Structure 1
Amino acid sequence: MGNKEQTFQKIIEIAYVMFAENGFEKTSLAMIATEVGISKPAIYYYFQSKDQLIAYIFDELYKEIQQDIAVDYKELTSANFKEKLLELGYKSIEAQGKDPYFNKIFNQYVLLAARDESYKSQLVELETSFLTSFVEVLQWGVRLGVLDDTPHIEAKAQMLALVYDNIGNFMLTGNQLNYRAIWKEAVHSVIQGGKDDK
């Protein structure tokens, strides 16, 4: 990796932390440049404005979230369906435990969306795909015969999505709850009668 690529990556990493900790309003490009160890004029080589940097990080987060909630249906069988659903939540809990800045910065984008229509529409799109992916997973479970085809299947999927999302919000506040057990209970409430899981 060349010096320009390394500097670019360092700008992203430092901006990510500073935006998460201080917010967009209280973080300037000059502050980021100082932390990176470059001059303020030098940072403009990489980003023409703070807004451009904010947008770049958002795009990266957007892609990461979509990747995290993507499920390869070919991997799901009647034998492993429950285990894979548990893994989805456990993976998210572990990732958020390792990255204390994720929910902080994501909440900055939620605040930004309240006054910026383009961020609002992208967040609505992301939320919709997030909910849809859970609905599709449970509908696949119906096809596999793991779940009963009830009129409430969509509501069950949305409940799982809300639990999944809110675990991250609670982790952000520092509440020391047993998040794995909470996710397990949510999955068990949807898939009743299955064998006990790890």
Structure 2
Amino acid sequence: MGNKEQTFRKIIEIAYVMFAENGFEKTSLAMIATEVGISKPAIYYYFQSKDQLIAFIFDELYKEIQHDVAVDYKELSSANFKEELLKLGYKSIEAQDKDPYFNKIFNQYVLLAARDENYKRQLVELETSFLTSFVAILRYGVQLGVLEDTPHIEAKAQMLALVYDNIGNFMLTGNQLNYRAIWKEAVNSVIQGGKNDKKK
């Protein structure tokens, strides 16, 4: 990796932490440049404005969230469906443990979306995609015969998505809960409940 690439990645990493801890408003490019160890004029070689840097990090987060809930359906079977669904949540919990800044900076984008229609639109698209991913996973569970095809299957998927999302929010506050057990209970309620549901 060349020096320019190293500096670029360092800018992103430091901006990510500073935006998460201090917010967008209270973090300037000059502050980021100082932490990186370059001059303020030098940072403009990489990003023409703070808004451009904020947008770049958002795009990275957008891709990461979509990747986190992506499932390789070729690897799913009736035998491992529940296990893979559990892994989906466990992976998120472990990632949150390793990166305490993720939800903090994401909340900054939620605040930004309140006054910026572009970010608002993108967050709505991301949220819709997030919910749709869980619906698709459970519908595949129906195809595998793990779940009954009931009118409640979409609500079950949305419940899982909400639990998945809110675990991260609770971890952000520092609450020491057994998040793996919570996710397991949520998955069990969907799998076991799905077997007992009657078609209506």
Answer whether contact 1:188 1:194 (CA < 8 A) is retained. Answer: no
**2:148/2:195 contact within 8 Å kept:** no
TM normalised by structure 2 equals 0.96
Contact 2:147 2:194 in 1 (8 A): no
Equivalent residue number for residue 138 of structure 2: 138
Secondary structure of 1:191's counterpart equals helix
Distance 2:158 2:66 in 1: 17
The alignment partner of 1:27 has SS state of coil
Could you give the per-residue CA deviations for residues 101-138 of structure 1, whole angstroms, max 9, x where no partner exists?
A: 00000000000001100001101001001000000000
Conserved 8 A contact 2:21-2:104: yes
In structure 2, distance between residues paired with 1:64 and 1:160: 19
Higher deviation after alignment, 14-23 or 63-72:
63-72
What is the TM-score when the length of structure 1 is the normalising length? 0.97
Aligned to 1:97: 97
1:29–1:50 Cα contact (<8 Å) kept: yes
Partners of 2:144 and 2:124 in 1: CA distance: 30
- TM-superposed CA distance for 1:74, in Å, is 1.0
Runs of 4+ in 1 over 2 A off after TM superposition: 193-198
- Give per-residue Cα distances to partners, 1:2-60, cap 9 Å, x unaligned: 11111101000000000000000000000000000000011011100000000000001
CA RMSD of aligned residues (A): 3.2
- Conserved 8 A contact 1:131-1:161: yes
| Distance apart, 1:72 and its partner CA | 1.1
Cα deviation for residue 196 of structure 1 reads 17
8 Å Cα contact 2:138/2:157 also seen in 1: yes
Gaps of 5+ in 2: none
CA contact (8 A) 1:15 1:32 kept: yes
SS at match of 1:195: helix
Aligned residues of 2:148 and 2:194 also touching (Cα < 8 A): no
Give the number of equivalent residue pairs: 198
Q: Identity over aligned residues, as a percent?
A: 91
Instruction: Go from structure 1 to structure 2 and tell me whether the alpha carbon gap of 1:26 and 1:5 turns closer, same or farther (over 3 Å shift).
Output: same
- The offset of 1:194, in angstroms, is 10
